[in-house]
Amino acid sequence: MSDEIKTGNANQDKTSALWTGDYYNQGTVSGDIFDTLKEECGVFGVFGHPEASSMSYYGLHALQHRGEESAGICVTDGENFNYHRGMGLVKEVFDKDRIQSLVGDRSIGHVRYSTSGDSRLTNAQPLVFKYRDGDLAIATNGNIVNEPLIRRQLEASGSIFQTTSDTEVLAHLIARSPKGFVEAARDALSQLVGGFAFLLLMKDKLLVASDPNGLRPLVMGRVGEAYVFASESCALETIGAEIVRDIEPGELLVLDERGLTEDRFAEPKRKALCAMEYIYFARPDSDLNGSNLHAARKRMGGRMAIESFVDADIVTGVPDSSISAAIGYAEQTGIPYELGLIKNKYTGRTFIQPSQELREQGVKMKLSAVRRVVEGQRVVMIDDSIVRGTTSRRIVNLLREAGATEVHVRITSPPFKNPCFYGIDTPDRRELIASYKTIDEMRREINADSLAFLTPEGLIQSIGGLNKDDYKGGLCLSCFDNDYPTQVDFGGDEKEGCSC
Ligand code: SF4
């Protein structure tokens, strides 16, 4: 069951908290068993289809990997405005009756990951506001770097905030403008600095916006006459949509009774789509900017083999995100690919807080080394990133305990040294192992026989895609090279990570 539920329309608003603890196995507490980067959020929008809420359900289900904390759908038929939000997975928050009660032909939906401090229903999206022209719902993916500065200015002039979400800041900026809704939204969006994809729903229109650098993915599709939007193309494929195109940096799409109007709120700046989407976050069956994720990851593995070959008996990938790259490494070298590591898919949430000893063992709940595969073998272990180093050490040790004679670690990204300001929840810079250790020191720390990272050039060439000839391949590589595509210093009034 969902842990908290919130259902309503503009006049009805109930909240009940049934569970307020941490999910230790979900990545929401410090010192989590896995120190991997945390997914951000996913958005899904429909305009002009009578089964908007069912489509949103299936679309959000396909985006579940982008956020397991909460889910929500807001729908309108042009007259009524209804929504339902809850803590938990999409399948826990919504059942058949709930979906059938959300009647309308236009909708926005959201799945959310959040840090533990923000793990509460008031931040679950879509957020719904009373606006002077009617109800307004907003869903977002990403992070507004200058949000603390704008929030402080708004508070100084009388605004009262109910959430810590960026979304509410956008709503306040829109509400304060004397202009009509679309113009007010355009002005408000132009004040934001960061990486974001926004869906804004009113009874008579849907607005779709992407930040001027295109940092966060957002794709448009069609189902018959209807328009659909999603953070990843896999969600559009799930509902049988025809993929039309990615939303361009700085674009503002307006959908209303006249159909689609392609407009913008800002001139496009340096294209800088998040490279970690390709490396780790997005599903392998998604396409971003003309590149399929599985194919791109295979190329990363192949390139890794060219840049940092090591002879071995088998290649294995850390599931799930590194399996494609491991296949690429194996194809390039001729070393057989084997399932040396198996992920237990059914550990979703565990409500028991473990002792430290059990916690150390807990990695085996999520991941197992296959003894009959790795015993007596020299293993190349492909992974996508090293954050603090603790996870890598545990996985290397799993392989050694299962009898691997050598473990060579190959990482399909450059060393992760800098925090993200655009929607990825990263630890403090001082906790990022690559920021304070050499590669050989890291190798010793994770107990590997050898360690190598993909070069930035190798990463860019492997990803390819529509923007491959642009500066840095049209990618954001800031967490690797400290070259941020936007201003990130607002005199201490800036925000890192994710605050969807
Ligand atoms: S800093 Fe890293 S994680 Fe953040 S948007 Fe850029 S590439 Fe992605």
Return the ligand 1 atom nearest residue 195 CA. 5
Q: What are the pocket residues of ligand 1 if the criterion is a CB atom closer than 6 Å to any ligand atom?
A: 195, 215, 274-276, 420, 422, 424, 476-479
- Residue 473 has a pLDDT of 96
375 CA to middle of ligand 1, Å?
Answer: 37
The answer, yes or no, to whether residue 448 has pLDDT greater than 50, is yes
Rounded CA separation 372/74 (Å)? 50
- Are 41-269 and 277-481 equal in CATH topology? no
- Residue with the two structure tokens 């399948």: 91
Secondary structure element (H or E) that encloses residue 381, with its range: strand 378-383
Per-residue pLDDT at 362: 60
Q: In whole angstroms, what is the distance from residue 347 CA to residue 456 CA?
A: 34
Average the pLDDT over 96-112 and give the result: 97
Cα of 418 vs centre of ligand 1, distance in Å, is 9
Map out the domains of the chain as residue ranges.
41-269, 277-481
The CATH architecture one would assign to domain 277-481 is 3-Layer(aba) Sandwich (3.40)
114 vs 135, residue with greater confidence: 135
The answer, yes or no, to whether residue 3 has pLDDT greater than 90, is no
CATH number of 41-269: 3.60.20.10
Strand pairing report for 406-411 and 378-383: parallel
Instruction: Answer whether residue 27 shows pLDDT above 50.
Output: no
| Residue 41 annotated as catalytic | yes
For residue 272, which atom of ligand 1 is closest to its CA? Answer: 6
Q: What is the residue with the minimal CA distance to atom 4 of ligand 1?
A: 420
Each residue of 377-403: b (16+ CB within 10 Å) or e? bbbbbbbbbbbbbbbbbbbbbbbbebe
What average pLDDT score do residues 198-226 get?
Answer: 98
How many angstroms does the Cα of residue 13 sit away from the middle of ligand 1? 36
| End-to-end alpha carbon distance in the chain | 23
Report the pLDDT value the prediction gives residue 119, as an integer from 0 to 100.
58
- Predicted pLDDT of residue 351: 45
11: pLDDT strictly greater than 60:
no
Residue 117 above 60 pLDDT?
no
